[in-house]
Structure 1
Amino acid sequence: MSTLLNWLLPRKAPQQIDCIPWEIELKRWASSEWIEYQTWLFRHAFVSLHDWKSLRSEAQSWQEKPLFSLITPVYNTPLKLLFECIYSVRTQAYPYWELCLVDDGSSHKTTLALLDAMADEDKRLRVLHLPQNQGICAATNAGLAMARGDYVGFLDHDDRLAPNALHAIAKSIRQQPDTQVLYSDRDMLSPRNTRFMHLFKPGWSPETLLSGNYLFHLLVYRRDLLEQLGGVRGEFEGSQDYDLILRAADVQAKILHLPQVLYHWRQHENSVSLAHDAKAYAYEAGTRAVQESLQRRGLQGEVMENPALWRGNYRVKLQNPKQSAQVMRWSERLDFHNVQINSDIVILGEDIVAMDEDSLLEMQRWLQVDGVGLVTGKLLDNTQIVHAGLVQRPGGEPLALYAGHPETTPGYMAVTATVRNVSSVHPACCAIRLELWQQLGGLNPDYQSGYALLDFSLRALQAGHRIVYTPFARFQTQSQDFSQDFGPPQERQRFAKTWENWLAKGDPYYNQWLTLEMNDMGLAL
């Protein structure tokens, strides 16, 4: 047994942890290379020993205590990384879990010895040794077969959980027991073992998911849903988790976002997080996973990797609509209640020009997706972004993400360059499904400005419809002084008052930890 292994093993079990060194170690685990993120971590995400004990006590007082099964395939993992992974589970404030460690035919004796030694220390660690290497999918399904928990989570063998991760998930389940899938925010661990590259995700966004697996880590499923889906599929090796969540979405599983950083994804030279070409087959499998999802939904279209972005981002180009849409200029808004509407509607501002023949069709294509009621496009002033998605703010004045930036700026989570869900259309370029127009009775005549369409957007969300932004519908404004003023102050105030309660909760497609003061999606400290 190596010297490192001898140093690692004599750690205290979590039930005995009550000493300062453990708190110092977790402080080290909360260290970031980014000064701004370091500040955020200590303000919003650091779990002290006192906090940990309070969470533990709270969990023990609950009458209903869901059991979590964490599935971790292991293959020749470096000892220190494997130990940190397991240790991050053993130090969970929530104690009702089992860790199913599936050794996928490791040849390193120290890996095998560490697994068995730690399992001897804590009976919640369950180790299965496969006779030979079978791959991540086979190992994952072997772990699922072992699982006895009410909910199942996935933890890579070199990653870490935040100490409050399972407590936060369990608390959310208690509050919303019909939830079938939960996902959290995450960050990365650098090669120097410090935290950086945070990923603060939006709420559940079905169309965003078609552009890439934005949910990736931490994902927790109700076990009966996983049994219904049949586990992961070997033919999607490398993107098996993406295929799994797409299939969960296609059966209308109830999916919930938990806006806390509960997972730390390890970055090293052979990981997909660092070298995007390390596993090229994974992205090919991702393309096929999205293609199959379209087929399950009865949609026809082409799926390709998004050439403007890093790998793992996809573009879905749906088939052209069977019927043309009725195109109207915003100057005709006052006549909307008198015009006979008998098809889907495209509304353009007076000075807005489509940059190619495909742009109008692109907006109409997404109206074919069940549940999508409105679509909006990208608006440019020469080569600068005017609109790449709006974020609703409490005062009633939306935030235009990356306005004024070059069009080549992909932005945080590539928001300007991917098809995604948003809370409202831009009044100068949008498409509306006929059935939605009829259901809501058109625009509210109380508004004489762009706020009529912002109001219509929120009414559509309230009625259960979704809104899509597509960067592949590109429009140019001819105005030299285009602004983001959607209407006079009195209309903004009316809008803010009408939707006061909705706006106060925060835009569901924008993370609460991101700034509303600037349009670059920086941290809100």
Structure 2
Amino acid sequence: MPNPPLLSVLMPIYKPDLGLFKKAVSSVQRQCYPNWELCLVDDGSNDEHLISTFQNLEGDARIKVFRFKMNEGISAAINKAAALANGSYFGVLDQDDELHSSALLEYARVITRNPEVDIIYCDEDKIDEKGRFCSPWYKSDWNPDMALSFNYVMHFVLYRSSLFRALGGTRTRFDGSQDYDLLLRAVEKTGHIHHIPKILYHWRISAGSIAGGPEAKPHVFVKGLAALNDALHRREIQGSAEHAPDAWKGVYRVRRKINRPHTTSILVLLTGNPDRPLPLFRSIAALIPSADREIICMDPSIPEAGKTTMVHNIPITCVASPDKALNNVPAYFNAMARKARGDFLLFLDDTMEILSSETHFALLEQGQRSEVGAVGGKVFYPNGFLEQTGIILGPFGLFAYANRASPDDVGYVGIKRMIANYSAIMGLGMMTRRLLFFELGGFDEQYDNYCWDADYCLRLRERRFLITSTPYATFRHHIPARPTHLGISSQDTAIFKKRWHHVIDNDPYFNKNLSRLREDFWPG
């Protein structure tokens, strides 16, 4: 490797289990990449056995040791370790965790291939009480909305040393969640973030570690919430963060203020069944204020148009089916969109139903963001199981609905309770800005009934817009539960694969180590 970078592993120490501490140090010494240094800072343990252990390490010139006389806190210890370090990148290893033997080699390869990179993180697992590896955690590539919901980056993060120092290191007032605070500040300064989809860090389950459960360190989540609210203030985001309901400890919800009044054009495709629209229109009337919406409908089986009817005392504008649009869903929605006057478009059909008064607000709070191109929510089957929380690329050789046919629990590493980014979302229940919709040319009418929604989202992604899913917008879809890929026509599939073959197997939000034969984030 030409010009191998010096990598500095920082380890704050306080009253460690000496056996586990030695294993942590040994995991660094066993690295197959040789150009590293280990900076140990004892934060006032005052332990003679620990001092003796330090003395036994003196023969390794790559290890530096500093001892505080008094306990200064974890941030002070990390910053002191950084002051000892000479590496071009810093990363923190906890005193009882371990690095995979090839961890630093993998990081060095990333740096060599991408010299502009500022932040690097990896996948991780846990070590149980018997020393067995368990609970693999296969992470998303950089996912900005997930990062505002949860510190999913966690371990092992390398920061460019100049960035770490420019940020002033870690901050004492966030001790316990100093790593989350550092991440939130660092990503405000750089977009050069790289994820290594390999398990290179082993987080030990032990007494006093939140790896074994949140009750071990409840203050961590209080400090994490404080760090997140501090980030919102820095970023001038109007709103506040709170603990997410019915979620893991450490999962947060950012509530954003609606920055100005918005109107939503609700576009409803009718299927000709007179009973079907009733749950949808009832839910619209009950849950979305009339001043904030207009409703535009199309029944392709009925040629009448241009008239306004009343359903549940709400006016509905009927639009004629476009010529030559026989059984073409994107063409129907495009025709309705051309009649719309709202700031936002919300796409529904008469098999859908809005479930809560919060749904419209939850969509708007994300959709108003200039960096977000489309937003969707959680869609349930009539039996209470999920139909989707987003679209993941790759399963079954095409794509799948994330978490389809699974219960409404917290999900894989808590993802079902997080506002997060996906590559795409389902078209029914999708909200997007009207002007942006037409800037992209609307939905592609080459598709008939399927793939048009994923295609629209991927075109937004090409323009660097985020696709956001919020669990606080909820819908019920009155259809039988069935796998997505079984109902897609071969024609629509062929068009989608030809256009997007280069991304189908490279979804940045769906780790390549997860199964392509399931939809619930199950390790492959």
Match of residue 339 from structure 1: 339
Match of residue 9 from structure 2: 70
Separation of aligned partners in 2, 1:349 and 1:509: 28
Separation of aligned partners in 2, 1:321 and 1:293: 18
Match of residue 107 from structure 1: 46
Match of residue 368 from structure 1: 368
Code of the aligned partner of 2:412: Y
3-state SS in 2 of match to 1:499: helix
For 1:106-160, what per-residue CA distance to the aligned partner results, in whole angstroms no more than 9, with x for missing partners? Answer: 1221111101221x12010000111111110111111111121100011011111
For 1:344-381, what per-residue CA distance to the aligned partner results, in whole angstroms no more than 9, with x for missing partners? Answer: 22212332111012102201111233421111110012
1:261-300 → structure 2 map (5 Å cutoff): 261-300=199-238
Q: Alpha carbons of 1:435 and 1:299: their partners in 2 closer, same or farther (altered >3 Å)? A: farther
Q: Select the residue among 263, 266, 277 that pairs with 1:324.
A: 263
Q: Which runs of 5+ in 2 are unaligned?
A: 270-297, 299-331
Separation of aligned partners in 2, 1:77 and 1:354: 52
Separation of aligned partners in 2, 1:104 and 1:438: 59
Separation of aligned partners in 1, 2:482 and 2:515: 24
Match of residue 116 from structure 1: 55
Code of the aligned partner of 2:20: L
Instruction: Give the superposition deviation at 1:321.
Output: 4.7
Instruction: Give the superposition deviation at 1:275.
Output: 3.2
1:215 aligns with 2:134: no
Separation of aligned partners in 1, 2:139 and 2:503: 19
Q: Alpha carbons of 1:195 and 1:427: their partners in 2 closer, same or farther (altered >3 Å)? A: same
Match of residue 432 from structure 1: 432
3-state SS in 1 of match to 2:240: strand
1:141 aligns with 2:85: no
Instruction: Give the superposition deviation at 1:395.
Output: 5.9
Match of residue 400 from structure 1: 401
TM-score by length of structure 1 reads 0.84
1:7-406 → structure 2 map (5 Å cutoff): 62-118=1-57, 120-322=58-260, 323-330=262-269, 332-336=332-336, 338-339=338-339, 343-382=343-382, 383-393=384-394, 397-406=398-407
Q: Alpha carbons of 1:149 and 1:434: their partners in 2 closer, same or farther (altered >3 Å)? A: farther
Task: Indicate the RMSD between aligned Cα atoms, in angstroms.
Answer: 1.8
3-state SS in 1 of match to 2:211: coil
Instruction: Give the superposition deviation at 1:201.
Output: 0.4
Instruction: Give the superposition deviation at 1:337.
Output: 6.4
1:389/1:416 contact within 8 Å kept = no
2:232/2:240 contact within 8 Å kept = no
Which structure has the larger Rg over C-alpha atoms?
A: 2
Separation of aligned partners in 1, 2:143 and 2:66: 36
Separation of aligned partners in 2, 1:90 and 1:291: 39
Q: Alpha carbons of 1:72 and 1:309: their partners in 2 closer, same or farther (altered >3 Å)? A: same
Instruction: Give the superposition deviation at 1:483.
Output: 6.1
2:12/2:40 contact within 8 Å kept = yes
1:276/1:311 contact within 8 Å kept = yes
1:491 aligns with 2:492: yes
3-state SS in 2 of match to 1:327: strand
For 1:374-402, what per-residue CA distance to the aligned partner results, in whole angstroms no more than 9, with x for missing partners? Answer: 11110012311111222112766422233
2:100/2:201 contact within 8 Å kept = yes
Separation of aligned partners in 2, 1:357 and 1:66: 54
For 1:243-270, what per-residue CA distance to the aligned partner results, in whole angstroms no more than 9, with x for missing partners? Answer: 1101112223311100011111111121
1:396/1:493 contact within 8 Å kept = no
Match of residue 459 from structure 2: 459
1:424/1:454 contact within 8 Å kept = yes
3-state SS in 2 of match to 1:86: helix
Code of the aligned partner of 1:511: N
2:267/2:345 contact within 8 Å kept = yes
Separation of aligned partners in 2, 1:436 and 1:292: 31
Separation of aligned partners in 1, 2:188 and 2:375: 21
Runs of 4+ in 1 over 4 A off after TM superposition: 480-483
1:427/1:450 contact within 8 Å kept = no
2:334/2:442 contact within 8 Å kept = no
**Worse-superposed segment, 251-260 or 462-471:** 251-260
Match of residue 38 from structure 1: none
Code of the aligned partner of 1:501: H
1:68/1:151 contact within 8 Å kept = yes
3-state SS in 1 of match to 2:169: coil
Q: Which runs of 5+ in 1 are unaligned?
A: 1-61
